[in-house]
Structure 1
Amino acid sequence: MSVQTSCWLWLLLLTPNLASGFEGCQLGEAVRAFRPPADGSLCPPSESRCWHDGVVADGPGRGDAMVTVLWSDAEPMNRRVHGSYALRKSSATPCFSPSAMSEVGSCLDDGCWRYSDSCHDSIGGVLRAQGADGSTKHSSCRELGQSGYCSTAKVAKLCPESCGKCRPLRSCVNLKRMLPLFQRYAQWAWYSQWNQDSVLHLLLVNPDSALRTPAGSRFFVEFGFRPVKGRLGDESNSEYLRRLGWKGVRFDLDHEEPSVGLFRERITMENVVSVFRRHNVPQKPGIVMIDIDSCDLWVFLGLTEVFRPRVVQIEYNRHLRFADNLTLDCRAGGKPGTTDSELYGASIHAIAAAAEARGYAVAWVERCFDVFLVRSDLVCPGSKLPNLDAFKSFTLHDGGCLDPWGEFASPATAQERQSVFLDLSSTPTSLRKGDR
C-alpha cells in the first residue's frame, strides 16, 4: 500500500464529518441551494438572492459529494452543486459537510480512493482501527467485521457492508413504481446526449430505486459513441457509468482510441455477436446502448439471440408517429434508409414488440431519443407497464418532441416510407422467428 493511500486511510478514521452511506440528501428532498446567475455575473454565497428552492433529483448511489437540483423556477442551468451548498428545507442542514470530497475533482482514476454513498465498504485495503478495549488492529473491513470491531463507530461508518449495515439491493425492479420517478426526476444530464444520465441513475445507481447489478455485470457497451465534448467531458451515454467504476467498450463507425476502450466497428445484425465476442463482452452485461441511426432494432434482435444484457437502451425514430408500428426493413431484400432523412430506425411500438419477442419490457422512453428496456426476469412480477400511453406525445408528429437536429432530417414522402419500412402490426412473426 502506498504512503499516499495510508495517509488517506488514517485521515478518514480521524475525520468525523466525511459523507458516508448514511448521510446525504435523498431523492425528492426539498432543498434551498446556491445557484450562480446563468449570465456568469458574480453572486457570492453570502447573499440570499443567490439561493433558490428546488428538489434533489439524484440522491445517493453515485459515490461523490455532488447533488443535482431541479430548480423550482425551472431554470435549466447550474443544476449540479456540491452538497454543502444545498440545505435541506426541513432542517437547514447541508446535504454534505464542506469537507466531503467530490470524486469529480480528485477521484476520476481507478486508483483513487472514493467513498461510496451506495452502502459499500469505503476501504478496499488495510486500515487501522482501535477497539473498545484500547487494542489496535491493522486489517481489512472484512476481517475487522469478523473480529468484532463494528462496535467502533468509525469502523461501522467506513465498513457498512462488512458490518451488516447495508440494506439488500433489489433483485427485481418495479416498473410501475419507477414510472412516476422517471416522470418527475429524469430531467438532468452530466455527460449524456440528453437526459439519459438521470435515467441510468434512477434505474441502475440510486439504492432506493435501482436494480441491483452484480459486480460481474457492471459492464457497458455503447454503439454510436459521440467523440465531442459534453457538459463535463466526453459526450457519451455511457460516460456516467464509467465514472462510477463500470468497465466497458464503445464502438463507433469513424473514430477509434483503444486506450480508452473506443474501437472502430461497423455493427450489423449479422456481425454483432462476433464483435462482442472479439471484445470479450460478458454474456450478461449490465447495459447495451444502441444508437446507429439505421437497423437498430435488427441489431437488438441479432444480439439477444446469444447475449442477454440486463438493460438495453435503443434509439427510436422520433419522426414516426406514436401509433406507428414500423421499423426499417433490414431483412434480406429490404431497402436501407438514409441518415439524412426520416428513413431510419424504428418506432416506439416496434421496439416494444421486439422487446416482448426477446423477453424484455419497456421501462422508460427518453423523450425524442431512446427506449429503455429491462430483461423480463429482472422485472418484479405484475409490475410491467400495462401500455405505452405515458409516451404518447414523445414524437414530432404528436407534438411533444422538438427536433434539435431537424435541419439534417428531410421529410420523406409516403411512397418512400412505404418502400423502406416494415409494418410489424401485420408481420409480427418476423420478430419471433428472427427472419432475415
Structure 2
Amino acid sequence: IFEENNVPKELDYLSCDMDSHDLWVFRAILEAGYRPRVITTEYNSNYPITDAITLLDPTIVRNSVDIGKFEFKFSQCAWGAGAGALRIVAEAHGYKMVGRVGYLDLIWVRNDLLMNQCSLLPPFEWFFHNASIGKLHHGQQSSSDILSQIIDYETYVRTGGNLTASNRAAHSILKRRRLPCYESVKNFF
C-alpha cells in the first residue's frame, strides 16, 4: 500500500493501530525499508511488559498450525501485541521508546535522530512505573478459540519462525502468569 501510494521511505510519522495484527504490519513496514522518524504503536496492556505475546500473522501458514479459520473480532482482552513484543521489533530496527500514552500507545523515535540523547532517556521499564500493566483493561476472554492464534514473539524470533514452538511458549507464559484476561477460559489454568 505504501509503495502504491508513493509514501516516502523516510516519513515523519507512522501510527500503527489496528487492534489486531499491529506487530506484523509494524514489522513489515520497517522490513520494507521505511524509516519513520516517529512511530506510535498500539499495545495490549493486558500483558506484562516482560512478555512478548502477540496474535500471530494471519498471512503465515506453516509448521502445521491452521490459521485459515481465524477471524479476528475485537471484543475481549486477547488482541494485538504486548509492549514486550513491540519492543523487540522496534529495537531490532533502530528505534527507542520515548513515551507511553496511557494504556493505549507506545511512542518510538529513530535512534539516529536521538544521537547522544539516548543516555538521557529512562529505560523501557521506567515508562510503565506505577501502571497496572498485566491487569484486566478489557473484557475477559471467554472462548479458548483465540489460544491457537497467540504466540510468544521472542520464541518466534529465536526459533526462526516456528509457530508451534511459539504457540506453546505463549501458552506456558499465559498459564504461569494466570492473567485475569484468561480466567474465564474453561480448563485453561
Where on the TM-score scale, by shorter chain, does this alignment land: which range? Answer: 0.5 to 0.7
Does residue 332 of structure 1 match 2:69?
A: no
Q: Paired residue for 1:298?
A: 24
Q: Paired residue for 1:423?
A: 152
Letter in 1 for 2:114: V
Match among 115, 123, 126 for residue 386 of structure 1: 123
Give 1:346 deviation, angstroms: 0.4
Q: Which has the higher contact order (CA 8 A, sep 6+)?
A: 2
Asked if the contact 2:43–2:104 (Cα under 8 Å) also holds between the matched residues in 1, the reply is yes
Letter in 2 for 1:312: I
Q: Paired residue for 1:319?
A: 46
The 3 A distance-change label for structure 1 pair 398 and 339 is: closer
Q: Paired residue for 2:140?
A: 411
Q: Paired residue for 1:361?
A: 96
Give 1:348 deviation, angstroms: 0.8
| TM-score where L is the length of structure 2 | 0.68
CA distance in 1, matches of 2:96, 2:143: 31
The 3 A distance-change label for structure 1 pair 318 and 294 is: same
| TM-score where L is the length of structure 1 | 0.31
Q: Which has the larger radius of gyration?
A: 1
Gaps of 5+ in 2: 62-66, 164-189
Q: Paired residue for 1:40?
A: none
Letter in 2 for 1:287: Y
CA distance in 1, matches of 2:97, 2:45: 16
**Cα deviations by residue, 1:335-392 (Å, 9 ceiling, x for unpaired):** 5542112221101111111111222111111111101111121122342543323314
Does residue 310 of structure 1 match 2:37?
A: yes
The 3 A distance-change label for structure 1 pair 280 and 304 is: same
Match among 105, 110, 120 for residue 370 of structure 1: 105
Gaps of 5+ in 1: 1-274
Asked if the contact 1:360–1:375 (Cα under 8 Å) also holds between the matched residues in 2, the reply is yes
CA distance in 1, matches of 2:30, 2:80: 17
Letter in 1 for 2:155: S
Give 1:398 deviation, angstroms: 4.1
Asked if the contact 1:326–1:346 (Cα under 8 Å) also holds between the matched residues in 2, the reply is yes
Letter in 2 for 1:313: T
Residue correspondences, number: 152
CA distance in 1, matches of 2:83, 2:134: 13
Asked if the contact 1:325–1:348 (Cα under 8 Å) also holds between the matched residues in 2, the reply is yes
Q: 1:304 is paired with a residue of what secondary structure?
A: helix
CA distance in 2, matches of 1:434, 1:376: 27
| Larger fraction in helix | 2
Q: 2:40 is paired with a residue of what secondary structure?
A: strand
Asked if the contact 1:288–1:312 (Cα under 8 Å) also holds between the matched residues in 2, the reply is yes
CA distance in 2, matches of 1:346, 1:392: 19
Taking the TM superposition and a 5 Å limit, the aligned residue runs for 1:198-277 are 275-277=1-3
Letter in 2 for 1:338: K
Asked if the contact 1:311–1:373 (Cα under 8 Å) also holds between the matched residues in 2, the reply is yes
Asked if the contact 1:291–1:314 (Cα under 8 Å) also holds between the matched residues in 2, the reply is yes
CA distance in 1, matches of 2:122, 2:147: 30
Asked if the contact 1:337–1:343 (Cα under 8 Å) also holds between the matched residues in 2, the reply is no
Q: 2:124 is paired with a residue of what secondary structure?
A: coil
